[in-house]
Amino acid sequence: MRSGLAFSLVALAAVAGAQTKYDAQVKALTDKGMHELGAYSLLQELSGGIGARLSGSPEAAKAVEWGKTTMERLGFQNVHLVPCMVPHWVRGAKEDLTMTDASGATAPLTCCALGMSPGTSDEGVTAEVIEVHSVDEANKLGDAAKGKIIFYNGPMDPTMMNTFGAYGQAGGQRFVGPLTAAKLGAVGALVRSMTMDPDDAPHTGVTEFGANDPKIPAVALSIVAANSLHDAMAHGPVKIHLTTHCQTLPDEPSADVVGEITGSEKPNEVIVMGGHLDSWDLGRGAHDDGAGITESLEALRLLHDLGWKPKRTIRVILWMNEENGGRGSAAYVDYAKTASEKHIAGMESDSGGFAPRGFGVSLTAKKARALNKWLPALSNFEIERFYPGGEGGADVDGLADVHATIFGLIPESQRYFDYHHSSKDTIDKVNPRELEMGAMSMAMLAWLISEEGVPKP
Amino acid sequence: MRSGLAFSLVALAAVAGAQTKYDAQVKALTDKGMHELGAYSLLQELSGGIGARLSGSPEAAKAVEWGKTTMERLGFQNVHLVPCMVPHWVRGAKEDLTMTDASGATAPLTCCALGMSPGTSDEGVTAEVIEVHSVDEANKLGDAAKGKIIFYNGPMDPTMMNTFGAYGQAGGQRFVGPLTAAKLGAVGALVRSMTMDPDDAPHTGVTEFGANDPKIPAVALSIVAANSLHDAMAHGPVKIHLTTHCQTLPDEPSADVVGEITGSEKPNEVIVMGGHLDSWDLGRGAHDDGAGITESLEALRLLHDLGWKPKRTIRVILWMNEENGGRGSAAYVDYAKTASEKHIAGMESDSGGFAPRGFGVSLTAKKARALNKWLPALSNFEIERFYPGGEGGADVDGLADVHATIFGLIPESQRYFDYHHSSKDTIDKVNPRELEMGAMSMAMLAWLISEEGVPKP
């Protein structure tokens, strides 16, 4: 790459960003944001410093304290906690998974217990494996599943260009596959990791058992392990021996962290933005969702330090317990339902700290067109469009109940599931500039809503 | 991140990609491309297998042979070489750079010689340093530069959101800074690496001395080294001792590699696409420009293997010597000027193998609007728009002389200069899906031009 193309792109940038009445604000945000890269500094404290922070853990408690202290230090107003009780699941000692193939040869397989799954007995479980590729296929097993270990091996569809779509499609195997197997009388469940990166790191995540449901041990296999098991099964029946040590302890007290800049003209109209403070216990919760937390904090910091006075209240919420319960989200929605103030918009970043591409919005295509006037002001941060009919994220979607218009930051999606819920979700995978672009996108959109209001769903 | 958002994005993807008459082709390309990830396999051969391949090196000769063999294996037609003579610059032994500060303390600084710069004598050069931040500032030094080492320390502007713009602006310090210093009588030049990643890896690149110009040793400093030197200078004069061992050997014979699918209806109308086969000697030329090479090869492979018969000829060119001479580009333009065939379009990928965002095109904004009808067919590969007034890349831009319309693939730009021209430009920085999306974008655009023709500049 040499200078010719480079110089031409200076001109291209000018073409892309037509003049708008927000040009001065865009420039001020950009100058401050890109020189200071404040979101990344915050991520170093949260993901680097505190690390993994699963609900109920000491690290999650530290993260709450850090969130509150940070908001106070940054000069936010009305900093407070919204308390909630959260599940307290612990992984315990390292899982052990061994397969014995038709020839009698044994081999270890890399796995990790799924969140909220029960542990095995100390002796573990041993059973023959049946491979399926979807929950539907498992359901069709009927009595054949009894006493067996069900192996969900349906891959994420590589032809779905937005990887979140592929996750949604394959993810049912993890969300409800183990429960489905339990109801059929299976004694364990193995789930191919929800990733397209073909390496040996397993990706955890929640699996859903109701209070009165039968429960069985359930683990995610790394892609290498899933492929090995599949290959072994081509030569005859394979037996699995699995030991896990997870436990679900009594609920723990925890909290959402809340702070704001109170509106100068309509303080009673509230724009919420945030991400979730908890993370899985593997890795260090950098993209999921340290990114959303630090983008949101940085967005409000930028507005605060630039001295802008929003007409409406702009509030940051660091939600607790997105990963395995949604208790923090529910607690805030409960508050919002009885509050005298009016939540006009909610915005979440929970798709990683990659370069932004757009915002999903809970409006019809027709109503969403009214937002296109804002695209020139957002284009400097690489926001290309609003995606109508979208949700915002698991934490913020509940604010639809109080008639808020919901937004979700949509970054570039290709790398997210390489790291998601695995030991690889660490800060070295986050580019400081891309993260700051997310923060600036959120700051600008919050500012625009504060200035002009927003269409109702 | 959990299922709620994921499922909604399936719907979003459908919204984004309205139905077009090319839907079947888009689906076929996507199915084949994303299942096979052929571009990445080729990149493993080129960047992983052959590695760095600076013009004139044995590895560059291997890359030419590999390109030809690969095209033949893939079933391309009229596979041949377009010969050219290329510069043969060699770095030689590791550079040595030591600073002595005002207190007499010495410290090593990490650097690498700039491409085409001369070596020092065996004893090296020793001189006091003067820091400037642009070529203009250097020019103003006048006689003060005599006998000194000029330290260009102007950073890439972090507020330019497209990093190529920042590279274009700061890059003059590397391209012509050393020559400027030489003309002022300086004895050496140090240039802050053209990157925003603040680590200790220096980034090389060409510096331009004409045949009759005075030449002085010139190196890139890592960002860590540049900052250390700057800090040391705050406490008084700093002396530098620099030894480099580079040499420019006699020109070597080399070649562009060319192959095609000949058009079924208008074989005489040619659409060219490609990247450059040479790379710098540091790293392994993965993003620069293994990505462009393998995206182009894969684009034609996909069309070939899908059995599509383009109306016009679609040709892939692996250009030689983009980095330090442009001889391969010139050789092909010379051919094109006298050929009986008509080059209607040229397309290059030389901005890294990241997720695509658009195409630059050498049309006015008004004429480029005619291309917007193609965006629905390109949107599945995350192509959002055509950027009018753009260039395509250093290799392809010369085809403007034969009135071709020039296109340049524009991927996400934030990470490119983290790796560019440094030891970090290795295949682990390339995401296989993002690379394939570039390949599919190029395949689709070439197909659309082949089917429908293209407006003239």
CA gap A454, B401 in Å, rounded: 51
CA-based nearest distance B122→chain A, Å: 31
Active site residue A322: yes
CA gap A291, A400 in Å, rounded: 23
Contacts of B9 in chain A (CB under 8 A): 162, 164-165, 168, 360, 390, 410
A403: left (phi over 0), alpha (psi -120 to 50) or beta: left
List % helix, strand, coil for chain B (3-state, nearest 5): 40, 25, 35
Mark yes or no for CB contact B5/A433 under 8 Å: no
For residue A428, is the peptide bond before it cis, meaning its omega torsion is within 30 degrees of 0? no
Q: B127 has which bridge partners? A: B240
Q: Are residues A369 and A386 in the same domain?
A: yes
Task: Give how many domains chain B has, as a whole number.
Answer: 2
The tens-digit pLDDT sequence of chain B (457 residues) is: 433 443 334 334 444 445 678 999 999 999 999 999 999 999 999 999 999 999 999 999 999 999 999 999 999 999 999 999 999 999 999 999 999 999 999 999 999 999 999 999 999 999 999 999 999 999 999 999 999 999 999 999 999 999 999 999 999 999 999 999 999 999 999 999 999 999 999 999 999 999 999 999 999 999 999 999 999 999 999 999 999 999 999 999 999 999 999 999 999 999 999 999 999 999 999 999 999 999 999 999 999 999 999 999 999 999 999 999 999 999 999 999 999 999 999 999 999 999 999 999 999 999 999 999 999 999 999 999 999 998 899 999 999 999 999 999 999 999 999 999 999 999 999 999 999 999 999 999 999 999 999 999 9
Residue A7 lies in a domain: no
* Weakly modelled stretches of chain A, pLDDT under 50: 1-17
What's the confidence (pLDDT) of residue A390?
A: 81
Helix ranges (H only) for B249-403 are: 291-305, 327-338, 365-368, 375-378
Chain A 58-97, residues with CB within 8 Å of chain B CB atoms: none
Mark yes or no for CB contact B350/A5 under 8 Å: yes
CA gap A209, A221 in Å, rounded: 19
- A141-144: Cβ within 8 A, 24+ apart: A141/A184, A142/A184, A143/A184, A143/A185
Q: Are residues A220 and A328 in the same domain?
A: no
Residue A346 lies in a domain: yes
Residue A137 lies in a domain: yes
Residue type, B241: H
Query: A24 in contact with B at a CB cutoff of 8 Å?
Result: no
CA gap A452, A374 in Å, rounded: 10
What's the confidence (pLDDT) of residue B11?
A: 38
CB B91 within 8 A of CB B113: yes
Mark yes or no for CB contact A437/B418 under 8 Å: no
For residue B289, is the peptide bond before it cis, meaning its omega torsion is within 30 degrees of 0? yes
Q: B108 has which bridge partners? A: B98
Q: Are residues A46 and A171 in the same domain?
A: no
Q: What is the pTM of this model?
A: 0.96
What's the confidence (pLDDT) of residue A347?
A: 98
Q: Are residues B188 and B285 in the same domain?
A: no
Q: Are residues A327 and A219 in the same domain?
A: no
Best probe of the A interface among B8, B41, B380, B395, by most A CBs < 10 A, is: B8
Tell which of A210, A228, A245 closes a domain.
A245
The enclosing domain of B159 has a CATH number of 3.50.30.30
Burial class (CB in 10 A: 0-12, 13-18, 19+), B183: middle
Q: Are residues B103 and B203 in the same domain?
A: yes
CA gap B401, A443 in Å, rounded: 46
Query: B44 in contact with A at a CB cutoff of 8 Å?
Result: no
Mark yes or no for CB contact A6/B164 under 8 Å: yes
Q: Within a 10 A sphere around the Cβ of B157, how many other Cβ atoms?
A: 15
What's the confidence (pLDDT) of residue A307?
A: 98
Tell which of B202, B221, B245 closes a domain.
B245
Query: B35 in contact with A at a CB cutoff of 8 Å?
Result: yes
CA gap B152, B189 in Å, rounded: 8
* Letter string b/e over residues B114-129, b meaning 16 or more CB atoms within 10 A of that residue's CB: bbbbbbbeeebbbbeb
Residue A166 lies in a domain: yes
Q: Are residues A211 and A263 in the same domain?
A: no
Q: Are residues B261 and B238 in the same domain?
A: no
Residue A313 lies in a domain: yes
DSSP B215: -
Nearest CA in chain A to B29: A159
Within 13 Å of residue A426, how many CA atoms lie on the same side as its CB? 7
Query: A278 in contact with B at a CB cutoff of 8 Å?
Result: no
CA gap A253, B424 in Å, rounded: 46
CB A84 within 8 A of CB A61: no
Q: Are residues B152 and B178 in the same domain?
A: yes
Contacts of A389 in chain B (CB under 8 A): 8, 11-12, 15
Chain A 300-359, residues with CB within 8 Å of chain B CB atoms: 322-323, 350-352, 355, 357
Nearest CA in chain A to B417: A1
Residue A446 lies in a domain: yes
In this predicted complex, what is the ipTM?
A: 0.95
The enclosing domain of B300 has a CATH number of 3.40.630.10
Chain A 195-214, residues with CB within 8 Å of chain B CB atoms: 196, 205-206
CB A357 within 8 A of CB A384: yes
Tell which of A245, A279, A298 closes a domain.
A245
Q: Are residues A66 and A96 in the same domain?
A: no
* Cα radius of gyration (chain B): 23
What's the confidence (pLDDT) of residue A350?
A: 98
CA gap A83, A87 in Å, rounded: 13
Domain encompassing residue A142:
92-245
The alpha carbon torsion through A352, A375, A456, A408 (nearest 10 deg) reads 0
CA gap A12, A382 in Å, rounded: 13
Active-site residue identified among A322, A348, A382, A434: A322
CA-based nearest distance A53→chain B, Å: 15
Q: Are residues A314 and A203 in the same domain?
A: no
Contacts of A388 in chain B (CB under 8 A): 15
DSSP A263: -
What's the confidence (pLDDT) of residue B19?
A: 63
CB B156 within 8 A of CB B163: yes
CA distances from B95 to B124, B160, B164 (A): 10, 32, 28
Residue B8 lies in a domain: no
Residue B301 lies in a domain: yes
Q: Are residues A292 and A438 in the same domain?
A: yes
